[in-house]
A and B are shown apart, each in its own frame.
Chain A
Amino acid sequence: METVRLLEEHEFPTEQQKYFEATKAWFNIDYLPKMSKVLSYQPEMSHTHGRCSRRAMVDGVLQRRQKEMIAVAVSAINACGY
């Protein structure tokens, strides 16, 4: 059970919606992941952090699928089920 109340999408400021749509498109899903909600509580932080995230995960020298595997390895080492 989460230790914070996760806001519903409509509870966030309207100007956040375009970022939410970009997140859904990135993951090819029709809902906003909990992590994105948490990070969106502070837009000043979430926008810059989100750009870092996108920059890090797009195809570069390594492809996105390789980076996702690296992310899985980090999550496994940190024993993070999420």
Chain B
Amino acid sequence: MTNGINAVADGVRVPLDLSDAPGRTPLVRLIELEEASNPVKRIYQDIQAFYQTTCVPNVFKVLAHDEGYLHDYWAAVRFVFTDRRLDRLTKEAVALAASMAARSDYGVDLHMREVRRLGLTEKGVMEVIEVVQLFSCYTKIADGLQLEPDFTRLLEAATSGARVTPQR
């Protein structure tokens, strides 16, 4: 979900919502709240309420060119990021990490704002940064050396509920 939003936002150079980013002139016109149709306005209002902000994240102003698509896509985003087994802060932290790993300026800007708004301290932000850095390193080493997974049996046990002794 996050990767999809980021792909659109960075792909068509959507201006960042919170940080200055010179040169990000959108390749698709953004549909602002004042000019939006009533159905789109209602979606925008829902987005504003969800993010507790007066501004609508610019990426949705691109999707608003297709009202039906925006409606369904926003419903999916909202569902994914709503508290369920995982709380919203955890999901936003994961989305921030995914955005950093994907080098998405838009995603980092959006999700950094969200984790802070949801109460993650600067120490917590630093913890996300550390995990991203570590695993960006580990994944490159693993790929470079073509390491074959050796946690597979543990994963199978975890997902099946079975208890197994890991083997070499």
Contacts and interface: CB of A to CB of B under 8 A. Distances in A.
Contact of B94 (A27, A34, A70): A70
Contacts of A30: 165-166
Given A35-B142, A82-B143, A61 B101 contact: no
Contact of A56 (B131, B140, B151): B131
B110 interface: no
Interface size bracket, A side: 35 or more
Interface size bracket, B side: 35 or more
B50 interface: no
A33 B150 contact: yes
A71 interface: yes
Contacts of B166: 29-31
Contacts of B95: 73
Nearest to B125: A61
Given A30-B166, A75-B135, A77-B102, A38 B124 contact: no
Interface string A41-71: 0000000000011011100111000110111
Interface of A: 1-4, 27, 29-31, 33-35, 38-39, 52-53, 55-57, 60-62, 66-67, 69-71, 73-78, 80-82
In the complex, the 9 A-B pairs of residues with the closest C-beta atoms, listed nearest first = A61-B124, A82-B142, A80-B139, A56-B130, A77-B101, A74-B135, A78-B139, A70-B97, A74-B101
